[in-house]
Structure 1
């Protein structure tokens, strides 16, 4: 293996991959303990160091500790969750009803990460062909925060069952600002060994080796060492 002066040490590299592997979408395990301001500041700094198209940094962070605001958001979730249940029937509907899909009121802190679609002006470098690149950039900020939180022993849950227009009105967002991620944040009693939806039988993780293509969709890999490496990783998991 080639080692460069910029490579992380074995311990540092292990920590990074551990955070990726053990990150969880937390819904049920939140503790009431507050997140210290210096820890929250580090998480926000990690998010702010995400890459962004044209270095436009389209994100803003709305820290929500008001119980009243969180109750309003929870009411939006309740309405949208009832609508979502209508998509399922039979055993799947029964399982859906049992799933805990948010921690809006249980977590000590909520955070909304938004995208200012006008930031950087009308012509942002790198955004000429794919206008959604600003939204993708915000998703990278979310992931940065999520991994940093796991390293700090803090759980994060993304609540996606929300009407975005109602959420924007509740948080008084300007017309050019879109609420990308509504997150529940806090210390937890445990990090589950498996993603909760996998543990509850909703879905299983897809085999990575079935998702890697060679030089075009559906084409087999011609790189035998990579195939072997993928098989070895799957066997070690």
Structure 2
């Protein structure tokens, strides 16, 4: 039977609590999805900071866990069948943790698939589009004289924000009254867009009141407030 010590990633980030789920991450929108999920479910875990400043994500140890060199990734010592499970991709991790804990994903088959579709909406649309907008508004792309690339992502981000605002017009959360992994996937990205990226005015975020209402509720959840800072930057 394999143990955590059989995984090379634990050589770079030794487990102080080998009986707990190991989280390898950074407090980015994708990273905090998983830390928020773990805080919401109460599942014991041990976080490890993957520092992009020192290229931790390119180390052989991390690549042995995620060959795509992206965060987050997890190593669960108590995976299916009692065997350790290594997993990457934040959406896959959210689904796994929901199944493992029986929380934040409907048991009804139709509602489960509807929740999953909104998770995929974030993975395929919100994350990539907001991320590109961040590049052209805050990072190196902001110095490009040609603003057509930026404006293309502004327009697409606004379209996605309207989809969310319309969805939330008569709902407390994406799936209605129940808070789910769809919300945990989506709202860190909305929060990042108008916070860290500073693009709220650019996308006219005030035109999406239902979305802002739900974002405020999301931010006020204690588990969210904790998860947004995990792993702590050093």
Q: When the two structures are superposed, what TM-score results if normalisation uses the length of structure 1?
A: 0.27
Structure with the greater alpha carbon radius of gyration: 1
